[in-house]
Amino acid sequence: MPSLGFCKWIALYASLTLLPLLASASLPDGRLHGNMMHTPSIPVLEMDAPDGPVISRNGTVLPDYSTTYYFDQLVDHNNPSLGTFKQRFWHTYEFYEPGGPIVLFTPGENNADGYYVYLTNISIFGLIAQQQSGCTVLLEHRFFGFSNPYPDLSVESLKVHTIQQAIDDLEYFTKNVNLPMPNGDRLTPDKAPWILAGGSYSAALTSWAMVNKPDVFFAGYASSAVVESVLNFWQYFEPIRQYMPQNCSADIQAVIAHIDQVFTGPNTTAIQAIKDSFGMGELTHLDDVAGALRNNLWDWQSMQPTTGPGAQFYQFCDALEVKDGQNAPVNGWGVDNALAAWGAYFKDVYLTRLCGAQSALDCLGTYDGTQTYWTDISINNSVRSWMWMVCNELGWFQDSPPLNRPSIVTRLVQPDYDMRQCQQMFPGAFPEIPFLDVTPINRVYQGWQVENKNLFFANGLRDPWKDATMSAEGLNVKSTPLQPIALGGGFHCSDLKAASGAADPTIGAVQAKALKSMHDWLAAWKPSKNQRPPVRSPRSTPQGGHQGAQPHTHTKPVNAWSKGSGTL
């Protein structure tokens, strides 16, 4: 397709012109350093090169899925006089027929580039649209990618980076967007059913927005929705500990217990020997050293039912458990072998993969406040924007469990280890190490207590985020026809990918149930009688006012789809 070349070209153009504004060196996996959690990102879906243009049901040739549109979003919903910024979105109506739903989703804490594949029936969102004759819309979340109220990520700018503002964005979008399709300005929530959808954080946002704006979204689809904020989210490692090969789990527990014992003891020779054997001899802080070993576990998050046998996580377990061509028994080979094998693997193979060209100290040390990854405030740095949310509202710090629990994670990392990093990244907001209180967010948006109408929760047994979802261990919330909670055997957001349903029938069953729910709910939709006029954007504001915050990647004139600016 000719547009692919064009897209490549504009990406190159954008990277050349914007280089000085962009975030500096990060790790190969996108994190700023190796002792911070991975964002709970929804997976990027791959699409085979489409062999033709996008065609609507009645034969109209539609714009490519990758076409970027811009919406004039309010900078501050509490103060509309501050004007608007350009919020990026992607859209297709290939399956749309009049009366069909608008399936709206955001990839949440990511640059939304590349997520347009979710518009298609490669994803469950597209399958819902296909079944219900709806259209799909991908909206970039404020402060991610190139949808920024202000041209930097300073503490001052980030003041309008809250969950509530993000929810207000969603409402304002539904009521003011002129979708690039026939009648696209007449699809407000009173006239057409909107389905809000998401994965992980954006799935939690789906539940929270439906609580907060009960009249806007008619239905919702929430995959691996982390509805409950948890300060020390040690449970993150529980599905990993339980579902990983048990010999590997046993050996990791033995090694971690040993390292913790040595690191909290007086024998500096023994301490240095362990650091050296893992290639981290130059690190001075032992919590950085032991905390870094979480990386081998974090790799679990990228696993999917469609992942082949060569997954990073299994390479790691093989390094510990295969000796002279032989697999360890269920209890593993024991601490001596495992300590040596893990050290050698970490030092000789894994560190380069994790840190790229950076030294172990730059990559894994967290105590040097002058490092650019703390101080860099340029846009399109999704980790910084995510950390702001984590430090102010969400938590989910991935540390060690209570003492009476088996642990595959060092006891040296506790929430204060993470909250210190919040202060290092945002000293202007936190003059002292903060103590995050997650009770307000769980109260306001109802967390696990939620009782939404027409919201489908899809979860996965092997998802490390499971214990913040409605399927958390020991929670036992009842699945109901109005708020189904379906648990398949998948990993993180596995049900979002249509093909996962074929790879794992338990996920296929979750998807089928969701499609059935959508069908039943939408059959009952009627336009609202008291058709309220939509909230109008402040027309006096000519442009976003914060130019420089977007790259020039638009393939349509910036204002082409703004309210009232012409027809298709």
Ligand X SMILES: *[C@@H]1O[C@H](CO)[C@@H](O)[C@H](O)[C@H]1NC(C)=O
**Active-site residues: which are they?**
200, 463
Nearest Cα residue to 93 out of 123, 59, 124? 59
Residue with tokens 């006891």, as numbered in its chain: 411
> Do residues 159 and 557 touch, judged by C-beta distance below 8 A?
no
Nearer to ligand X, 248 or 283 (CB): 248
Q: Residue 115 corresponds to which tokens in the numbers above?
A: 């997520």
Min dist. Cβ of residue 424 to ligand X (A): 21
Min dist. Cβ of residue 17 to ligand X (A): 9
Chain-centre distance of CA 445, in angstroms?
A: 19
Min dist. Cβ of residue 515 to ligand X (A): 12
Alpha helices, DSSP H only, in 87-237? Answer: 124-132, 163-176, 201-212
> Do residues 237 and 396 touch, judged by C-beta distance below 8 A?
no
Nearer to ligand X, 149 or 245 (CB): 245
> Do residues 419 and 438 touch, judged by C-beta distance below 8 A?
no
Nearest Cα residue to 507 out of 308, 223, 121? 223
Nearer to ligand X, 96 or 298 (CB): 96
**Which amino acid is present at 391?**
C
Min dist. Cβ of residue 243 to ligand X (A): 11
Min dist. Cβ of residue 499 to ligand X (A): 10
Min dist. Cβ of residue 192 to ligand X (A): 13
Nearer to ligand X, 344 or 482 (CB): 344
Min dist. Cβ of residue 144 to ligand X (A): 8
Nearer to ligand X, 67 or 469 (CB): 67
Nearer to ligand X, 136 or 469 (CB): 136
Buried b (16+ CB within 10 A) or exposed e, 326-365: eebeeebbebebbbebbbebbbeebbeebbeebebbbbbb
Nearer to ligand X, 325 or 474 (CB): 325
Pairwise CA distance, residues 482 & 340, whole Å: 53
C-alpha dihedral (492, 497, 503, 505), degrees to nearest 10:
80
Give the other-Cβ count within 10 Å of 510's Cβ. Answer: 28
Residue with tokens 């509490």, as numbered in its chain: 78
> What residues make contact with ligand X under the rule CB under 6 A?
14-15, 18, 22, 56, 58, 60, 93-94, 96-97, 111, 121, 130, 182, 245-248, 267, 269-270, 273, 317-318, 321-322, 327-328, 330, 380, 382, 551
Nearest Cα residue to 126 out of 88, 92, 82? 92
Q: Which residues pair with 327 in a beta bridge?
A: 322
Min dist. Cβ of residue 50 to ligand X (A): 8
Residue with tokens 């790790």, as numbered in its chain: 27
* DSSP per-residue letters across 392-456: IIIEEE--PPPTTS--SS-TT--HHHHHHHHHHH-TTT-SS------HHHHHHS-GGG---SSEE
Nearer to ligand X, 111 or 407 (CB): 111
Q: Which residues pair with 84 in a beta bridge?
A: 74
Min dist. Cβ of residue 244 to ligand X (A): 8
Mention every residue, 6+ apart, whose C-beta is less than 8 A from residue 156: 150, 428
> Do residues 231 and 210 touch, judged by C-beta distance below 8 A?
no
Residue with tokens 């993470």, as numbered in its chain: 418
Vertex 86: Cα angle to 12 and 203 (nearest 5): 95
Length of the chain: 568
Pairwise CA distance, residues 421 & 160, whole Å: 21
Q: Residue 7 corresponds to which tokens in the numbers above?
A: 């897209």
Pairwise CA distance, residues 136 & 357, whole Å: 40
Min dist. Cβ of residue 109 to ligand X (A): 10
Min dist. Cβ of residue 189 to ligand X (A): 20
Nearer to ligand X, 60 or 359 (CB): 60
Pairwise CA distance, residues 302 & 553, whole Å: 29
485 phi, psi to nearest 5 deg: -125, 110
> Do residues 92 and 103 touch, judged by C-beta distance below 8 A?
no
Nearer to ligand X, 81 or 267 (CB): 267
Nearer to ligand X, 380 or 506 (CB): 380
